[in-house]
């Protein structure tokens, strides 16, 4: 099957990810579990899919590096795709994305999280394990800004996943390395582009973290993601990424500019047959700032537990809210846009006669019946015969 048909199979099963590999069974991740969705793939077929996705120029870079990232619409579904080589040959990992950008409510997130984007400067970190929906939450926060106030927003992503439409804000999306060679260079350039809000797809290196902190400290609202299991782990990883001799100044810088850290995991709600994020939220209260400054990161969990009045959420407290919440938003199914419809779906030309569209009648003309679809004349004749037989 072509790649777009594999994606349609995964989408019909409600999958979040699809994995194809030479000489292996294709599998899809449905509600967190991997399920086989077809027979073993022939290596030439997977290689042909990979080559078609990349094109001749990118193929040369792929053969040298061994992997490639891209995002595009395939079979009517926007996908984030990673191509790589394995011991069996070529492999494709595909993340099936939502067709549109949703706000916090549509992402089944607590409305209190809007406090993260009420600030006009500082750092907001969205963290969690791989596949926990960090990018979707980041897009929801950005869409809340887009709908509520006029800002110049610059995003740095690798690759671009969600495409935004300008509403009240002006959003300039840049892909790494297509539009800038690295996150570091993109951050340096963005500070000369008059931004109000910066979005950093992922803080991967100490240099990117340093530039992100500097941007948050100089009057910009910066939204960034990183991998971690808890809010305390995200703060620890951010500070410990630097050399020991400068970690004290980094902790002070982070304590001064931090707005909040949101960490999330995906839970499956059996009664609603739905996966929703379970979250932990650390806000920059006086207690949190002092704990970060002193480097007592192990105490951050206690700060969150006792910070309910300040708007903080622990995983346990958020779990209790989830158990009481009933109005979950269920994503609507996207309409597929198939490039080449299967031949089996085409109507046979010998049994159906297309009737041309006739113009609408003008006043004073005799009205005519306008038929704008294919008509099976044999079925009409059989229906007329049955009516005639029943007529006395």
Residue 215 CA to residue 292 CA, distance in Å, equals 19
Distance separating alpha carbons of residues 81 and 159, to the nearest angstrom: 9
Tokens for 263?
């960490």
Q: What does 108-155 look like in DSSP terms, one character per residue?
A: T--GGGGGGGT-SSEEEEEEESTTSSHHHHHHHHHHHHHHHS--EEEE
The model's pTM is: 0.75
Q: Which tokens belong to 269?
A: 């709600």
Q: Are 176 and 199 in contact (CB under 8 A)?
A: no
pLDDT at 341: 32
Range 216-238 burial, b when 16+ CB lie within 10 A, else e: bbeebbbbbbbbbebbbbbbbbb
What's the confidence (pLDDT) of residue 278?
94
Phi, psi of 64 (to 5 degrees): -80, -40
Starting at the edge strand found earlier in the chain, the sheet holding 33-36 runs 33-36, 27-30, 17-21, 89-96, 77-86, 67-74
| Average pLDDT per block of 10 residues along the chain, 392 residues long | 88 90 93 88 93 87 89 83 93 86 88 92 93 90 93 92 90 90 93 93 91 93 94 95 93 95 91 88 95 94 93 94 88 45 30 36 42 51 62 46
Cα–Cα dist 183/162, whole Å: 18
Phi/psi of residue 130, each to 5°? -60, 135
Q: What is the pLDDT of residue 343?
A: 29
Q: What is the pLDDT of residue 381?
A: 64
Question: Any alpha helices (H) in 259-351, and if so which ranges?
Answer: 286-294, 300-305, 315-324
| Residue 153 CB burial class (10 angstroms; 0-12, 13-18, ≥19) | buried
Look at residue 148 in the predicted model and tell me its pLDDT.
Answer: 92
Helix (H) or strand (E) segment spanning residue 60: helix 43-65
Structural tokens at position 280: 């932990």
Predicted local distance difference test score (pLDDT) of residue 377 = 57
Q: 335: buried, middle or exposed (CB in 10 Å: 19+, 13-18, 0-12)? A: exposed
How many CB atoms lie under 10 A from the CB of residue 263?
A: 28
Are the C-beta atoms of 154 and 211 separated by less than 8 Å? Answer: no
- Domains in the chain, please, with CATH? 3-96 (3.30.450.90), 111-324 (3.40.50.300), 346-390 (no CATH)
Q: Give the model's pLDDT for residue 141.
A: 95
pLDDT for position 217:
92
Inter-CA distances, 195 with 148, 149, 192, Å: 17, 14, 8
pLDDT given at position 390: 57
């Amino acid at each position: 099957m072509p790649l777009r048909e594999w994606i349609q199979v995964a989408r019909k099963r409600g999958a979040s990810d699809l994995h194809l590999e030479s000489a292996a069974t294709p599998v899809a991740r449905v509600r967190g579990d991997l399920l086989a969705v077809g027979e073993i793939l022939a290596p030439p077929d997977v290689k042909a899919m990979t080559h078609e996705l990349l094109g001749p120029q990118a193929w040369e870079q792929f053969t040298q590096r061994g992997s490639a990232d891209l995002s595009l619409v395939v079979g009517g579904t926007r996908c984030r795709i990673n191509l790589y080589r394995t011991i069996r040959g070529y492999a494709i990992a595909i993340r099936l994305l939502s067709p549109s950008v949703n706000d916090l409510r549509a992402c089944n997130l607590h409305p209190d999280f809007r406090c993260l984007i009420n600030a006009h400067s500082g750092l907001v970190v969205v963290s969690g394990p791989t596949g926990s929906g960090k990018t979707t939450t980041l897009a929801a926060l950005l869409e809340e800004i887009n709908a509520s106030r006029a800002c110049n927003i610059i995003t740095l992503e690798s690759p671009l996943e969600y495409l935004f439409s300008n509403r009240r804000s002006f959003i300039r999306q840049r892909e790494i390395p297509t539009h800038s060679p690295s996150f570091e260079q993109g951050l340096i350039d963005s500070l000369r582009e008059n931004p109000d809000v910066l979005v950093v797809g992922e803080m991967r290196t100490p240099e990117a973290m340093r530039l992100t902190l500097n941007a948050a400290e100089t009057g910009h609202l910066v939204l960034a993601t990183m991998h971690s299991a808890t809010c305390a782990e995200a703060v620890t990883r951010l500070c410990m990424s630097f050399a020991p001799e400068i970690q004290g100044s980094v902790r002070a810088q982070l304590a001064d500019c931090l707005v909040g850290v949101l960490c999330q995991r995906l839970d499956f709600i059996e009664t609603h047959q739905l996966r929703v994020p379970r979250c932990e939220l650390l806000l920059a209260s006086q207690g949190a700032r002092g704990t970060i400054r002193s480097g007592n990161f192990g105490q951050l969990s206690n700060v969150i537990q006792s910070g309910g009045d300040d708007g903080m959420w622990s995983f346990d407290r958020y779990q209790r809210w989830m158990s009481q919440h009933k109005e979950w938003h269920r994503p609507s199914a996207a309409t597929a846009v198939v490039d080449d419809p299967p031949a089996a779906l085409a109507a046979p030309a010998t049994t159906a006669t297309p009737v041309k569209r006739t113009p609408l009648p003008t006043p004073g003309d005799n009205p005519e019946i306008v038929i704008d679809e294919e008509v099976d004349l044999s079925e009409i004749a059989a229906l007329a015969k049955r009516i005639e037989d029943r007529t006395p």
